[in-house]
Amino acid sequence: GNILGTANVQEWSEGKYFFLMPTDLAELSKNSKEFEQIHGKLHQILAKYELFMEQASCEE
């Protein structure tokens, strides 16, 4: 559809996050480089978030 052919962080607050995945393979292939960059950033953010949550739970 008209949603960008990339994964977008729709909500990143209060620990809630979900992704809008590409609905169009043509769009995805067109934006594959951009998709890979954003996807990589998402993985970095999620890794930091998981580490943060682990540390927070250890402190309790």
For 19-57, how does the pLDDT look when each residue is reduced to its tens digit (9 = 90+)?
545 555 556 666 677 777 777 888 888 888 888 888 888
Long-range contacts of 11-16 (CB under 8 A, 24+ apart): 12/45, 15/49, 15/53
Higher-scoring residue by pLDDT: 58, 15: 58
- pLDDT value of residue 36: 76
- pLDDT value of residue 9: 52
SS3 13: strand
Q: Is the pLDDT of residue 3 over 60?
A: no
Q: Is the pLDDT of residue 15 over 60?
A: no
The pTM is what? Answer: 0.40
Residue 48 gets the label, from left (phi > 0), alpha (psi -120 to 50) or beta, of alpha
